[in-house]
Amino acid sequence: MQFTINHLLPIRIWENLGDVLLLGEGNLSFANSLLRQSAFEITNLIATTFDGKRRLTEEARKNADKVNKMGGLVLYDVDATQLKNTFTRSYQFDTIIFQFPNVGSRQAKYGRNPNHIMIRKFLQSAKESLKLNGSVLITAVDSPHYDGVFQFEEAAEYAGYQEPESFPFDPEMFPDYNHVNTNDQVSALDDHEAFLTWEFQPQP
Ligand SMILES: C[S@@+](CC[C@H](N)C(=O)[O-])C[C@H]1O[C@@H](n2cnc3c(N)ncnc32)[C@H](O)[C@@H]1O
C-alpha cells in the first residue's frame, strides 16, 4: 500500500475538530493544549487515560482540573482497543485522537509487534464511535524504526480504513503540550526531530 506525506497542508487535519475523543492521554497536557486554542473549533472534548485515576501524576491531576474547568470531561481506565466498554453506540465523535501510542512492551503478539496489534485493534474499535466523515488521528515519531513498529498502512487496511495520509506534526502548534513516554516522564519530543500525524477514515 502506498502512502502520502502532505507537506503542503500541515494543519488541515487540526481544523474544525468538532466532538473530540482523546485516548491514552498520559498527563492530559494535550487535551489542555487543544482546549486553550479556539482555532481547533472543538465543540465537545472527552480526554481519557489508560491508567486509573489513582495512578495519575500530580501534573496529570492539575491538567485534569484545567480540562474540567474549560468544559472538557476526563475519564480514566479507558482502553483504546475496547471503546465499547466505555461508550455506548450513541456516543459518536468527529475526531478521535491518540498521540504517540505505545504499549510499553516489546513482546510479540501473534508474531507481530505489539504496537502494530494495538493500533489495529484501536482502529477497529474507533470505527464504531466515529460519526459519518469522522477521522482518527494518530501521531508518532517519523523514522524508519517507528514505521516498522506501527505499519500504519497495513493496520488501516486490516481495520477497514482507506489508505491513510500523513502530515508533519509540529509540536509548536500545541504550546501547553508536554508529551510523556509510557514508562517514564521524559519527553520523546526532545529525543526526536520529526513527527507525523496519520489521518484515517473508514472505507465508505
Ligand atoms: C508514549 S505515551 C503518550 C502519552 C500521551 N498521549 C502523550 O502524548 O503525552 C503512550 C500512552 O499510551 C497509553 N496506552 C497504552 N496502551 C493503551 C491502550 N490499550 N489504551 C489506551 N491507552 C494506552 C499509555 O498508558 C501511555 O499513556
Digit-coded pLDDT (tens) for 85-108: 999 988 999 999 999 999 988 888
In the DSSP assignment, the letter for residue 160 is: T
What's residue 2's pLDDT? 37
Q: Say if ligand 1 is within 6 A of residue 181 CB.
A: yes
What's residue 193's pLDDT? 85
Q: Select the more confidently predicted residue: 77 or 111.
A: 77
Integer Rg of the chain from CA:
16
End-to-end CA distance of the chain: 18
What's residue 179's pLDDT? 82
Residues 180-200: tens digit of each pLDDT: 776 654 466 667 889 999 999
Residues 122-145: tens digit of each pLDDT: 999 999 999 999 999 999 999 999
Other C-beta atoms within 10 Å of 134: how many?
20
Helix (H, G, I), strand (E, B) or coil at 42: strand
Q: Say if ligand 1 is within 6 A of residue 26 CB.
A: yes
Q: Residues of 142-154 as b/e, b for ≥16 C-beta within 10 angstroms?
A: beeebbebbbbbe
Residues in contact with 131: Cβ distance below 8 Å, sequence separation at least 6, in sequence order: 18, 19, 92, 93, 94
**Interval between CA 96 and ligand 1 midpoint (Å):** 14
Range of the domain at 78: 4-200
What's residue 3's pLDDT? 37
Mean pLDDT of 39-65: 96
Mean pLDDT of 160-173: 95
**Interval between CA 51 and ligand 1 midpoint (Å):** 9
Q: Say if ligand 1 is within 6 A of residue 23 CB.
A: yes
> Residue 162's domain is classified under what CATH number?
3.40.50.150
Integer Cα distance of 105 and 112 in angstroms: 12
* Number of independent structural domains in the chain: 1
Mean pLDDT of 48-62: 96
Mean pLDDT of 105-119: 88
Mean pLDDT of 14-42: 96
Going by pLDDT thresholds of 50, 70 and 90, the confidence category of residue 111 is: confident
Residues 3-19: tens digit of each pLDDT: 344 444 458 999 999 99
